[in-house]
């Protein structure tokens, strides 16, 4: 059986098509057949207008038409398409969802922040074994404790999800969706060619205030390590690794150290957009929002007193896949 997951986000629209097979001991295995990601910026200027813009809505629907053709060509028998923060907030989200159905035939479900967090956690930890979380990351887990409890952080374009749970039981002990993301923060604070000191100070203080309650609710002793998901963290990994082109295998399980993230952040902030777009490992279409997303990660690591986080390329899309199983 072939199934598919679609994620319509604030910054990007993504597709994952997989073949479902039975592996050893009857365990379900997903064999990825197609992964697609397009920067559609559906949430552009959402904070100012409160609405999805006509141009970005049209572009996103064109991408969804392309994805629908992929569903048909792969003979997908079951799919789930979800909309996240941009569709939760936009005044005209129902109108957009109706247009998507009329023009593509795709049913889009607008999920809550809690649902998004649960799906991200499920996608990140399914199949993990304590102390063998990513293979190449295994050695770095020494001193982390049992490896059973994990904090999963998903930094998106419009919101950031925090999920505390167990890798053994898949049990979630805490989850929260905070309305800070790479797109909305960059539009709010970073309007110049090169961000000024005041803009960066205001940005970091804003993030700190937004995260204060969440950090107080999640004690450091409550988890053994942190896993980071989504575009900002994947991009930082690609830059850290100096990748000339995207390589999922190298990014998945990479360790991002706080001091390296700060160095990369300073590099992003020291150049204009045109120069930033040419930084190896950074997708040019993400260059205008990467500073906002990186600032979120820095404040999370700082406020939790963490030196590093583990990068996962399994995320919301993979969680949607698991939700499609009986």
Q: Are 179 and 159 in contact (CB under 8 A)?
A: yes
Are residues 290 and 156 part of one domain?
Answer: yes
Are residues 240 and 214 part of one domain?
Answer: yes
Query: For the ranges 69-73, 170-174, 301-305, which has the lowest average pLDDT?
Result: 170-174
Are residues 12 and 139 part of one domain?
Answer: no
**pLDDT on residue 158:** 82
Alpha carbon of 263 to those of 43, 294, 295: distances in Å? 29, 11, 12
The mean predicted confidence, pLDDT, of the chain is 86
Q: What is the mean pLDDT of residues 135-152?
A: 56
Summarised one tens digit per residue, pLDDT across range 100-117 is 999 999 999 999 988 888
Residue 302 has pLDDT above 80, yes or no: yes
**pLDDT on residue 144:** 44
Residue 8 has pLDDT above 90, yes or no: yes
Is residue 323 assigned to a domain? no
Are residues 11 and 145 part of one domain?
Answer: no
Residue 21's pLDDT band, with cuts at 50, 70 and 90, is: confident
Cα maximum dimension of the chain: 58
DSSP 91-155: TTHHHHHHHHHHHH---EEE--HHHHHHHHHHHHHTT--TT-SSSTTGGGGTTS-SS-EEEEEEE
Q: Which of 78, 94, 111 is the last residue of a domain?
A: 111
CATH of the domain at 91: 3.30.420.40
Is residue 324 assigned to a domain? no
Is residue 322 assigned to a domain? no
Residue 131 has pLDDT above 50, yes or no: no
Is residue 226 assigned to a domain? yes
Q: Which of 70, 93, 111 is the last residue of a domain?
A: 111
Are residues 228 and 160 part of one domain?
Answer: yes
Are residues 152 and 296 part of one domain?
Answer: yes
Residue 28 has pLDDT above 70, yes or no: yes
Summarised one tens digit per residue, pLDDT across range 175-232 is 888 989 988 898 888 877 788 888 899 999 999 999 999 998 887 657 878 899 888 9
Is residue 313 assigned to a domain? yes
Are residues 131 and 84 part of one domain?
Answer: no
What is the total count of domains within the chain? 2
Are residues 301 and 206 part of one domain?
Answer: yes
**pLDDT on residue 139:** 45
CATH of the domain at 312: 3.30.420.150
**pLDDT on residue 130:** 40
Are residues 263 and 132 part of one domain?
Answer: yes
Q: What is the mean pLDDT of residues 145-167?
A: 80
- Please report how many Cα atoms fall inside a 13 Å half-sphere around the Cα of residue 152, on the Cβ side: 36
Q: Which of 96, 111, 126 is the last residue of a domain?
A: 111
**Structural domain containing residue 118:** 114-317
Residue 136 has pLDDT above 70, yes or no: no
């Amino acid at each position: 059986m072939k199934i598919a997951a679609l994620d319509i986000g604030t910054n990007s629209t993504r597709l994952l098509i997989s073949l479902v097979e039975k592996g050893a001991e009857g365990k379900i295995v997903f064999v990825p057949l197609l992964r697609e990601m397009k920067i559609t910026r559906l949430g552009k200027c959402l904070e100012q207008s409160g609405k999805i813009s006509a141009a970005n809505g049209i572009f996103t629907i064109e991408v969804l038409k392309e994805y629908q053709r992929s569903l048909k060509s792969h003979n997908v028998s079951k799919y789930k398409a979800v909309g996240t923060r941009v569709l939760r907030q936009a005044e005209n989200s129902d109108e957009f969802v109706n247009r998507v159905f009329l023009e593509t035939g795709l049913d889009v479900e607008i999920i809550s922040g809690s649902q998004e967090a649960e799906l991200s956690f499920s996608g990140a930890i399914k199949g993990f074994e304590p102390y063998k979380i990513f293979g190449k990351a295994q050695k770095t887990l020494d001193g982390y404790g049992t490896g059973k409890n994990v904090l999963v952080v998903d930094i998106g374009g419009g919101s950031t999800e925090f999920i505390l749970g167990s890798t053994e039981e898949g049990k979630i002990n805490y989850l929260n969706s905070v309305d800070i993301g790479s797109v909305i923060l960059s539009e709010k604070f970073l309007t110049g060619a090169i961000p000024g000191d005041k803009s960066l100070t205001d940005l970091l203080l804003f993030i700190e205030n937004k995260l204060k309650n969440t950090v107080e609710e999640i004690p450091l002793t409550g988890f053994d390590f942190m896993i980071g998901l989504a575009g900002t963290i994947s991009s930082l990994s690609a830059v850290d690794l100096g990748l000339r082109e995207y390589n999922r295998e190298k990014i998945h399980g990479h360790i991002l150290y706080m001091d390296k993230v700060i160095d990369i952040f300073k590099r992003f902030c020291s150049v204009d957009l045109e120069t930033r777009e040419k930084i190896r490992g950074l997708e040019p279409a993400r260059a205008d929002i990467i500073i906002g997303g990186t600032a979120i990660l820095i404040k999370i690591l700082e406020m939790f007193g963490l030196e590093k986080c583990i990068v996962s390329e399994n995320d919301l899309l993979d969680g949607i896949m698991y939700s499609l199983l009986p």
